[in-house]
Chains A and B, each alone.
Chain A
């Protein structure tokens, strides 16, 4: 997307964000014991400033759009979508599948998505990383990470 167009949408989003903080700050209690200025003042002011800045950017974005030259670059959407989905699944299943299994699966899928390669080599690297981190953190440093799922062991 062109930066100018992005700026226009972004400025609307940021203005909404500012407005949300502005409106919601009115629900915060206005006074605090022993303090002249309540906890609502700071977010209220910031929300206002953010809206004003967004308006400025919104106006600026029209100027920028004409200046821009078309500079198309092919994006690797497919590999990005795979890795993003894999990351989301990784985050969602890390507790149910356990650290080692989920990390192995995530890395294996991502390695393949980055560049098709040898299954064995990628698998070994993914497995080695998962085990190494788990061993170092849980066994050596006595930290805690989700272990293997019950049905696995």
Chain B
């Protein structure tokens, strides 16, 4: 069967009524998450895992996994749409990936062109979404074919490269990023060892035998950590929300932004595919690129529509591109995709090359639903932009306690122990303290998700080599990945030594 047949089958899965419903709920909540400052895509997706788990509890495992991942991915790319709304109307980005959008978006709003900015952002996001899905369709098969030939040594090195990429680009201090990664890997060793069946670090406490649950850790670190931060720090005075005005963009606006949208989409897609670089970097780079090639760069920062179109297309394309390493190689390149991966593993669906042969319905259903989801977002965002702008005004005094309540509900509904609730609060505190002091949290979650796989592949590779660690350098592909990983760490290090400013990814 060719790619088109698989894609058609995917569409059959995606247009089942419940999956359309899930895609709709996903993009709707995603847009809300994007609009609300304080909840980013990471905490949004983490919070919704338990909720989707309960929604899909009656279905058979494979269908449940498909529906959940459709919803969760919807939240992810929906948030990229929503993030632009606050940037433009309030001058406060809802997500870190929309920071650059404030530069020109808010200026446009002050000139009374907020509606045009918002709709161009939506159109650009839609086009970028479609570009990245086409890229996903084209690259999925060859990449997973290639990855199928990998042995344990190659996998181990590839995952190490993934960790290096994310840790190398996260935050200012390399030591801090790696400490978080290693802590994540260490936490993952708690519980019964999958290879030998030996209990590790459990001290005969029954709740520890299963290990610390990924869901509890992720929701605690991201969602509760963020809530605690907002509770502790005085919220800034709410600025006046700019009027939306005319939503339909003028012909001149469309003409002016066609180029930036196309360039932003392709640039964003390729940056998204790279592990570690994410939507934030993509939007940043595409803005700079547009400013460089523009005929009148002095207009940037004063309300140039290209300054909205390019970064908003790029961040959406990047979020689609980030799905490629996740689905085909099983390596999440960012915090949000790590959480998506954790969700898939909860359903016993292992992302990676085998995903396309073992669970084609999940993989292709997701890809097809991304087409549908992006279309929904475009339809939702054009007329409803005024409604979403209202969400900004949700008072924090209700929102924050309710986020805690949803976290508690979600963790308890899935885990049914109060131990996990205390763990949740503990990780919430840790998440606040760590994030407050520039310890990036995404690498920890990435380590937690990849930990068991890295360890298993390492031990399998070492078993075949009779305990000889040289096996990782003797296999050419494995050695190549390791060299890349080392370069990824060393190059920014040397650039920093030379006094160059290294762009870091704050989103993770």
Residues on A close to B: CB < 8 A?
3, 6-7, 10, 14, 17-18, 21, 24-25, 28-29, 32-39, 41-43, 46-47, 49-50, 53-54, 56-57, 60, 73-77, 79-80, 83-84, 87-88, 90-92, 94-95, 99, 103, 106-107, 110-111, 114-115, 117, 125, 129, 133, 137, 141-145
Contacts and interface: CB of A to CB of B under 8 A. Distances in A.
A115 B397 contact: yes
A88 B425 contact: yes
Nearest to A136: B54
B63 interface: no
B185 A76 contact: no
Contact of A37 (B175, B418, B439, B459): B459
Contacts of B185: 42, 46
Nearest to A3: B437
B433 to A, nearest CB: 8
A53 B234 contact: no
Contacts of B195: 32, 35, 39
Interface of B: 54-55, 57-58, 173, 175-176, 178-179, 182-183, 185-186, 189, 193, 195-196, 198, 200-201, 228, 231-234, 395-398, 400-402, 404-405, 408-409, 412-413, 416, 418, 421-422, 424-425, 429, 433, 437-439, 455, 458-459, 462-463, 465-467
Contacts of B182: 18, 46, 49-50, 53
Contact of A46 (B55, B186, B395, B405): B186
B401 A37 contact: no
Contacts of A137: 54, 409, 413
Contacts of A80: 228, 231-232
A38 B55 CA distance: 40
A25 B189 CA distance: 10
Given A76-B232, A77-B232, A133-B409, A57 B175 contact: yes
B189 A74 contact: no
A57 B231 contact: no
Contact of A35 (B228, B425, B459): B459
A109 B498 CA distance: 54
Contacts of A39: 193, 195-196, 198, 200
Contacts of B398: 111, 114, 125
A90 to B, nearest CB: 6
Contacts of A84: 228, 425, 429
Contact of A129 (B402, B455, B459): B402
A25 B455 CA distance: 14
A74 to B, nearest CB: 7
B232 A60 contact: no
A21 B186 CA distance: 8
Contacts of A94: 408, 412, 418, 421
A7 B437 contact: yes
B179 A35 contact: no
A83 B200 contact: no
Nearest to A29: B198
A18 B198 CA distance: 20
Contacts of B396: 114
B463 A87 contact: no
A91 B397 contact: no
A87 to B, nearest CB: 5
Contacts of A88: 422, 425
Contacts of B232: 75-77, 80
Contacts of B459: 35-37, 41-42
B233 A76 contact: yes
A83 B421 CA distance: 15
A5 to B, nearest CB: 9
12 contacts: A36-B467, A46-B182, A53-B182, A60-B175, A90-B408, A91-B425, A94-B412, A94-B418, A107-B401, A107-B402, A125-B398, A141-B54
Nearest to A112: B397
B437 A10 contact: yes
Given A87-B408, A87-B425, 10 more contacts: A10-B437, A21-B201, A32-B198, A37-B459, A41-B459, A42-B185, A53-B179, A76-B231, A114-B401, A133-B409
Contacts of A99: 409
Given A103-B405, A110-B404, A114-B400, A33 B196 contact: yes
B404 A87 contact: yes
B173 A111 contact: no
A50 B408 CA distance: 31
A141 B47 CA distance: 18
Nearest to B404: A87
Closest 8 CB pairs of A and B: A32-B196, A110-B401, A91-B421, A114-B397, A39-B193, A36-B467, A115-B397, A57-B175
Contacts of A3: 437-438
B10 to A, nearest CB: 27
Nearest to A106: B405
B244 to A, nearest CB: 28
B463 A143 contact: no
B421 A47 contact: no
Contact of B201 (A24, A33, A56): A24
B5 to A, nearest CB: 35
A33 B193 CA distance: 13
A113 B402 CA distance: 13
B233 A73 contact: yes
B397 A46 contact: no
Contacts of B412: 94, 145
A45 to B, nearest CB: 9
B169 to A, nearest CB: 17
B292 to A, nearest CB: 33
Contacts of B397: 111, 114-115, 117
Contacts of B186: 17-18, 21, 43, 46-47, 50
